[in-house]
């Protein structure tokens, strides 16, 4: 019996490079399949692997992409627009840093950069539909995050206006996704205005409860915030459309805690780790997602401050495969059951 959750799959963004096999879709998918992956999540922002413009205009190219993946023995799980989504909303404090995510001719032009990002997002919906997919994954961007833990206090209304503006920017994009039979799984992530359950609710409210606003569930970001990532599934399971399988650890000391003292990744109290090397309880996560009927992909997103990406990828496929659950079709005590007997039921109840 197959697992309800599909996998293992691999997010290709962290593995793309200028040398083979990581510099082409054909090469990287064959490499991933050789490690045991059954699916790949494709970044739309890396031209070495995917040409978004061509995907929108050419059915032949979309067929070629699907064929390359099929020949390698993998399926496309989702298209990722993390970098373009980030640029839909950028606080001026981040302008210079986030210019790196946009074409060079838009650097120093926040308005033009945002317009480009919105156009990219809309094109990704069309490309996803043409590839026969239903889900995408992205970021919301951030207008309010510089004021997360403010001193002096935030002026009244600042957060409300920030989320109202997010709603104004994202609702037309979400409408476009809905009209193309797609949705967006937003990765709930510090640095984005949507970084926990409370802010996700604020975002969805600002977008009028939009049905295309979904969640790319990644427990690593919740562990580093000390948020209950299992209870999160209980609360928001009906909005989870994608799953990044990523591990992390949080080891506070007398010198640093959640904010990690501006230290580099290796020296932080909170660190991303390769699968199995951190503290995330994946057994419970896979159980809960299966219990609630999640039937999309389990996608490894590799980020680790110690282990190499090659070793992390090689270990990730069997780790995910080991956690996939074959869903039972019968109750464990069915052997002790009997046919329904209405007369017996009345006797047992004294009726």
- Buried residues in 220-246 as b, exposed as e (16+ CB within 10 A): bbbbbbebebeebbeebbebbbbbbbb
Q: What is the pLDDT of residue 340?
A: 83
Residues 6+ apart with CB under 8 A from 293: 4, 237
Q: Identify whether the C-beta of residue 46 lies closer than 8 Å to the C-beta of residue 13.
A: yes
Nearest to 301 by CA among 272, 270, 266: 272
**Per-residue pLDDT averaged across 264-272, rounded?**
96
Residue 329: pLDDT band (50, 70, 90) is confident
Model pTM score = 0.94
Q: Indicate if the pLDDT at residue 38 is higher than 90.
A: yes
Q: Which fold has domain 6-348?
A: TIM Barrel (3.20.20)
**Per-residue pLDDT averaged across 36-50, rounded?**
98
Average pLDDT over the chain, rounded to an integer: 96
Torsion sign (Cα): 187, 191, 193, 195 = positive
Q: What is the pLDDT of residue 336?
A: 55
């Amino acid at each position: 019996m197959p697992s309800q959750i599909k996998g293992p799959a691999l997010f290709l963004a962290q593995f793309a490079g200028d040398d083979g096999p990581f510099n082409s879709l054909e090469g990287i998918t064959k490499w991933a399949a050789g490690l045991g992956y059954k699916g790949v999540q494709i970044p739309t922002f890396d031209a070495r692997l995917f040409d978004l413009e061509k995907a929108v205009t050419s059915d032949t190219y979309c067929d070629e992409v699907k064929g390359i993946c099929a020949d390698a023995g993998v399926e496309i799980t989702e298209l990722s627009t993390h970098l373009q989504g980030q640029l839909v909303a950028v606080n001026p404090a981040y302008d210079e840093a986030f210019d790196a995510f946009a074409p060079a001719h838009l650097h120093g032009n926040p308005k033009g950069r945002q317009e480009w990002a919105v156009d990219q997002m809309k094109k990704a919906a069309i490309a996803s539909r043409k590839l026969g997919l239903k889900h995408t994954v992205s970021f919301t961007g951030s207008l309010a995050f510089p004021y997360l833990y403010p001193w002096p206090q935030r002026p009244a209304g600042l957060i409300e206006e920030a989320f109202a503006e997010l709603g104004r920017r994202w609702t037309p994009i979400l409408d476009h996704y809905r009209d193309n039979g797609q949705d967006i799984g937003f990765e709930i992530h510090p640095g984005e205005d949507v970084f926990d359950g409370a802010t996700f609710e604020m975002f969805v409210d600002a977008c009028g409860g939009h049905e295309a606003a979904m969640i790319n569930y990644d427990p690593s970001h919740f562990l580093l915030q000390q948020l209950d990532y299992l209870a999160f599934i209980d609360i928001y399971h009906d909005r989870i459309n994608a799953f990044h399988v990523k591990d992390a650890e949080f080891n506070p000391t007398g010198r640093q805690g959640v904010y990690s003292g501006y230290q580099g990744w290796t020296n932080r109290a909170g660190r991303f780790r390769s699968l199995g090397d951190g503290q995330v309880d994946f057994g419970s996560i896979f159980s809960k997602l299966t219990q609630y009927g999640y039937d999309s992909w389990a996608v490894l997103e590799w980020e680790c401050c110690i282990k190499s990406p090659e070793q992390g990828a090689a270990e990730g496929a069997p780790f995910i495969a080991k956690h996939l659950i074959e869903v039972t079709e019968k109750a464990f005590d069915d052997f002790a059951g009997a046919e329904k007997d209405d007369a017996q039921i009345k006797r047992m109840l004294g009726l």
